[in-house]
Structure 1
Amino acid sequence: MSTEVIVVGAGPTGLMLGCELALAGVRTLIVERRHAPQPNSRALTLHPRSIELMDLRGLAPRFLGHGRTAHGWHFAGLDTQLDFTALDTRHGYTLFIPQARTETLLEERARELGVEILRGHEVVGVHQDAEGVEVDVRGPEGEQTVRARYVVGCDGGRSSAREAAGVGFPGTDETMTGILGDFAIVDRNDPALQRARARGVLIVPLDGNITLFVCIDPARMRVSAHEPVTLDEFRSSLRSLCGSDCGIDEPRWLSRFGNATRLAERYRAGRILLAGDAAHIHFPAGGQGLNTGLQDAMNLGWKLAAEVHGWAPPGLLDSYDTERRPVGQAVTENTEVQTLLAELTLVDQYARPAAALRELIDELLGMEVVNRCLAGRVSALDTGYPPAGANADALIGRRMPDIGLTAAASNATRANELLLHGRFALLDFAGDEALRPAVETGWAERVNTVTVTQHDDHPELEGVTEVLVRPDGHVAWASRSSDTDARRTERTAALADWAGLSKDALPTPRSGA
């Protein structure tokens, strides 16, 4: 069988995208230059929206079984934490889980779904034409060329796919760096550990008695991210920050990271698309990078599958760029704000005004409305996609609340369970007996239709008679009309706009399209 989509990069974004495409029946190949999965901790957190996405596909228990939760999270390292429990979600917490474990779990799922993963192979050329994309791949046995209908670059900040597509990557170079490392030996009884935390050092116990340290040393924060980190440097930086090296030894991994911030000029160039770090890079403030990449993949997967299968409405695939690029821009902007707060604190000449600024923002975070606003942004629970039309219902574009429900002809007990197979869900709150057969006649393979009785208290759903939920959990269309005929007309238009023409109206797919 021929490959329909090639994903470049087997990091969290590429693996998540592979899962989504395969779930939708797309033949997918992931090409990865590394010979083995990521062994290091790297990114450490899954935020509430990312856990919701896993929940939408029935994967949340896998991840929760390999991490630990914390109900608060930080903004720029300030004392007053963001309260995720105050947000409208069943997953009001951060999940601490090393990136290595996240990749392992996603790779297991991808292989279950039949995704082919080609490790130890580097993409050295990408060439697109009107009918598809050719990818030149170099591996242990030499070079080969693989052809697919689309290519998605999930291959990081120096993306070869982005370069081949000719997509610009404007932004700012690094002005500050920090260091991180996984250590097998740490003096856990050293009181300096608490002093280190008070000086902004992140210290996280991991599986296998490994401890992650992350810090920014004012004396070393202008060192290039390309300069290797040594154990002696790490010890020296800890001593300068807290008076002790905390007994660190036997490093398993050392790295330096910077605050270079860039955003791709567009996320699609013909048959080449970009996601994750290939589309946006920034300082790891708030741990948002990996999470944003996973959310890119969830938005793109079903749209690209629709295009491959030939039922995508006009403009659906382009909506990936129009919906996700503004999110990438918002993330780069809030990480720049957090980085600036950290940097000003570390520079002696700004110490006093920086401390006053941090105290002011910390005080503001104590206000519920401010805390909820920033918690929504960092957790990505406030991510919504602007609806078309000035009179669109307020629900459209927002996350569908994971309401508890009773449902006829369904075993689902809550809304998220209706999306396990990556199809649309049409929720009928009006008890319209003619709805299900009408929808199944044209869209049965793409839309699950369920008559439900909501039993959770969600004021935003008051008066709603029907809701069409996208495969990524966002609301595509909602109606509050009690007029059955008017609602039928609106519904048919919404289904055509989002789930394509009914199967009887679809053209025969072209074999090479």
Structure 2
Amino acid sequence: MDTDVLVVGAGPTGMTLAGELRVAGVSAVLVDKLAQRSALSKAGGVQSRTQEAFDQRGLLEPLLATGNYPAGTAHFAGITLPLTRDRHRHPWRSIPQVAIEGFLEQHLAAQEIHVLRDHELTGITQDEDGVTATFANGGVIRSRYLVAADGGHSTVRSLLGAEFPGRPGTETVVAADVRLSGDDQAMTHTRSEDGHWVLVFPLGTDPQGRPLRRVSMGGPGRSVPREVPVTEDEIREGLRAVFGSQVELLELCYARRITNAARQATRYRHGRVFLAGDAAHVHLPIGAQGMNTGIQDALNLGWKLGAAVHGWAPGHLLDTYHAERHPVAAAVLRNVQAQSLLMDQQGTGDPDLLAAKDLFAALTRLRDVQYHLDDMVSGMGIRYPMPGTEDQPLVGLPAPDLDLGPVRSHELLRSGRGLLIDPAGRFAEVAALWPDRVDRAGQGTGTEPMLIRPDGYVCWAGDQDALEPALGHWFGEPR
């Protein structure tokens, strides 16, 4: 084998996965067909759950130190959810995808993982032992497993002939990174009476320290073919239609058209090949859910591939990747489609739709509704199907960050191993059977005992008799 895992695609999903594989102690090769990293930001925000995961790996503070990334308030269909701002340890932050990719690539380089660029995949074959990948430049890489993180037009998915059902794109809207002048207060008004709309949110600053903003816009007659270039005049006209003379375009950094296509792979696993990120699911980008969902795919899959390479993974473990992540992306597709409808992105002005949105907006003034929507779009409400979810409220959810005396629990997850919180010191003998896979901590604290997977999800809590079966279920046979 040339490497344990070949990762195809060096976007946020692929680079996160490569980092997780390094934490798991297995080798990875990361390839990309582009000659250099893209300067385009397809996404502009990082959700609370993704920030928690970065914090669990010691990456969040270094990432935030690379720029000015303001905290923001969650929204659903353009309706802000102000009551949710301080619910989570890490609020939603405006961090452009290009900044995340630059940071992750630098982090990987420090771990001696370098992106092999100009590697256009042309073929894959797999057998009982591994996968052979061939490239247009004549290169061949042999690996135990291969992960497709190569985007919505995934070459890997095409070579597999994997089913990718759903809806093709029928409409387009404009997304652009810009510098604007004008009244910041005016920029909160997003829709004109004739159906034109503009959504503006901050993107931090450019290298010269000037504020950048992400602008999305659409309305009657503005859905044109995706390949038609976006011009500065088009951006100016869209701004003027909503803000009048109060907001002006100073600089257009980049712009593209995005579609409302919604597709999801039927299966995420094809033997030794796995689909992740946009290779597994595509949808209209609202709230950066696509990028965050892809990063979470990588976090879910990385430690499981590591377990398989090391030889201790239970037979079902790799299959739990599809079982856990497929429903999550399916739910994202549904909420994005609902948001797109409520936002009336084509500016139809349908009175029935406007009535529905007015009613929905009234409901979102209720705290419980805001909390429900926030859990949905932040990733914090994800609960994986696991043994124990029937009677243990913590099992399947992201682990709480616990004070364990000199350290906090999220810091202990940086090892890439499981973590058994044992406040009464009752489980030392059981934990000792998995010393290379599970750490034990928390003796003397007042927290509830729980077992946390390497990706930060609780997989056991409470019932003493169920601990050893849970350890075997997630961490294999004792040593």
Taking structure 2 as the reference length, the TM-score comes to 0.92
Provide, for residues 332-381 of structure 1, a one-character-per-residue CA deviation record: whole Å limited to 9, x for no partner: 00000000111277103x0x333322221111111111111111111010
Contact 1:75 1:81 in 2 (8 A): no
State the Cα distance separating 1:247 from its structure 2 match. 3.6
State the Cα distance separating 1:58 from its structure 2 match. 1.1
Provide, for residues 105-152 of structure 1, a one-character-per-residue CA deviation record: whole Å limited to 9, x for no partner: 1112222223231012211212212211111123xxx32111111110
Provide, for residues 195-224 of structure 1, a one-character-per-residue CA deviation record: whole Å limited to 9, x for no partner: 568743314354222633423321344312
State the Cα distance separating 1:177 from its structure 2 match. 1.4
Segments of 5+ residues of structure 2 without an aligned counterpart are: none
Residue identity over aligned pairs, in percent, reads: 38
The change in CA–CA distance for 1:314 and 1:186 in structure 2 (over 3 A counts) is same
Match of 2:372 in 1: 373
Match of 1:34 in 2: 34
The change in CA–CA distance for 1:287 and 1:334 in structure 2 (over 3 A counts) is same
Which whole-Å CA distance do the structure 2 matches of 1:450 and 1:477 have between them? 15
Match of 1:260 in 2: 261
Provide, for residues 2-37 of structure 1, a one-character-per-residue CA deviation record: whole Å limited to 9, x for no partner: 211110111000000000001111110111112222
The change in CA–CA distance for 1:7 and 1:202 in structure 2 (over 3 A counts) is same
Match of 1:111 in 2: 109
Q: What amino acid sits opposite 1:287 in the alignment?
A: A
Q: Are residues 1:417 and 2:416 paired?
A: no
SS of residue matched to 1:119: coil
Which whole-Å CA distance do the structure 1 matches of 2:227 and 2:249 have between them? 23
SS of residue matched to 1:301: helix
Match of 1:177 in 2: 172
Match of 1:430 in 2: 424
Match of 1:343 in 2: 344
Match of 1:207 in 2: 205
Q: Superposition pairs for residues 229-378 of structure 1, below 5 Å?
A: 229-244=230-245, 246-343=247-344, 346-348=347-349, 350=350, 352-378=351-377
The change in CA–CA distance for 1:191 and 1:450 in structure 2 (over 3 A counts) is closer
State the Cα distance separating 1:227 from its structure 2 match. 2.3
Match of 2:452 in 1: 469
Match of 2:7 in 1: 7
State the Cα distance separating 1:389 from its structure 2 match. 6.0
Q: 2:147 aligns with which of 146, 152, 171?
A: 152
SS of residue matched to 1:18: helix
Provide, for residues 377-403 of structure 1, a one-character-per-residue CA deviation record: whole Å limited to 9, x for no partner: 110101011123685533221111112
Match of 1:509 in 2: none
The change in CA–CA distance for 1:428 and 1:73 in structure 2 (over 3 A counts) is same
SS of residue matched to 1:116: coil
The change in CA–CA distance for 1:314 and 1:19 in structure 2 (over 3 A counts) is same
Q: What amino acid sits opposite 2:323 in the alignment?
A: T
State the Cα distance separating 1:182 from its structure 2 match. 2.6
Contact 1:125 1:137 in 2 (8 A): yes
Match of 2:441 in 1: 450
* Bigger Cα displacement from structure 2, 62-71 vs 312-321: 62-71
The change in CA–CA distance for 1:116 and 1:64 in structure 2 (over 3 A counts) is closer
Contact 1:13 1:154 in 2 (8 A): yes
Q: What amino acid sits opposite 2:106 in the alignment?
A: E
Contact 2:8 2:146 in 1 (8 A): yes
Which whole-Å CA distance do the structure 1 matches of 2:305 and 2:148 have between them? 13
Q: What amino acid sits opposite 2:468 in the alignment?
A: T
Q: Superposition pairs for residues 11-22 of structure 1, below 5 Å?
A: 11-22=11-22
State the Cα distance separating 1:261 from its structure 2 match. 0.5
Q: What amino acid sits opposite 1:439 in the alignment?
A: A
State the Cα distance separating 1:431 from its structure 2 match. 2.2
Q: What amino acid sits opposite 2:40 in the alignment?
A: N
SS of residue matched to 2:294: helix
SS of residue matched to 1:405: coil
Contact 2:268 2:322 in 1 (8 A): yes
Which whole-Å CA distance do the structure 2 matches of 1:79 and 1:268 have between them? 37
Which whole-Å CA distance do the structure 1 matches of 2:61 and 2:470 have between them? 33
The change in CA–CA distance for 1:54 and 1:191 in structure 2 (over 3 A counts) is closer
Q: What amino acid sits opposite 1:57 in the alignment?
A: R
Which whole-Å CA distance do the structure 2 matches of 1:284 and 1:82 have between them? 23
SS of residue matched to 2:374: helix
Contact 1:196 1:238 in 2 (8 A): no
Match of 1:187 in 2: 181
Contact 1:182 1:254 in 2 (8 A): yes
Contact 1:267 1:325 in 2 (8 A): yes
Match of 1:484 in 2: none
Which whole-Å CA distance do the structure 2 matches of 1:295 and 1:180 have between them? 24
Which whole-Å CA distance do the structure 1 matches of 2:318 and 2:98 have between them? 31
Match of 1:125 in 2: 123
Match of 1:386 in 2: 385
Segments of 5+ residues of structure 1 without an aligned counterpart are: 456-460, 482-486, 504-513
Which whole-Å CA distance do the structure 1 matches of 2:255 and 2:161 have between them? 33
Q: What amino acid sits opposite 2:125 in the alignment?
A: H
SS of residue matched to 1:371: helix
Provide, for residues 200-256 of structure 1, a one-character-per-residue CA deviation record: whole Å limited to 9, x for no partner: 331435422263342332134431223221222222322333334944254331211
Q: Are residues 1:227 and 2:228 paired?
A: yes
Which whole-Å CA distance do the structure 2 matches of 1:418 and 1:201 have between them? 40
SS of residue matched to 1:248: strand
* Bigger Cα displacement from structure 2, 243-252 vs 17-26: 243-252
Contact 1:187 1:246 in 2 (8 A): yes
The change in CA–CA distance for 1:494 and 1:193 in structure 2 (over 3 A counts) is closer
Which whole-Å CA distance do the structure 2 matches of 1:451 and 1:189 have between them? 52
The change in CA–CA distance for 1:189 and 1:117 in structure 2 (over 3 A counts) is same
The change in CA–CA distance for 1:108 and 1:390 in structure 2 (over 3 A counts) is closer
State the Cα distance separating 1:82 from its structure 2 match. 5.9
Which whole-Å CA distance do the structure 2 matches of 1:451 and 1:235 have between them? 58
Which whole-Å CA distance do the structure 2 matches of 1:213 and 1:416 have between them? 32
The change in CA–CA distance for 1:277 and 1:82 in structure 2 (over 3 A counts) is farther
Q: What amino acid sits opposite 1:498 in the alignment?
A: W
Which whole-Å CA distance do the structure 1 matches of 2:273 and 2:43 have between them? 26
Contact 1:74 1:82 in 2 (8 A): no
Provide, for residues 418-448 of structure 1, a one-character-per-residue CA deviation record: whole Å limited to 9, x for no partner: 201110001112222xx335533x3211111
Contact 2:223 2:346 in 1 (8 A): no
Q: Are residues 1:492 and 2:468 paired?
A: yes
State the number of aligned residues.
471
Taking structure 1 as the reference length, the TM-score comes to 0.86
SS of residue matched to 2:381: coil
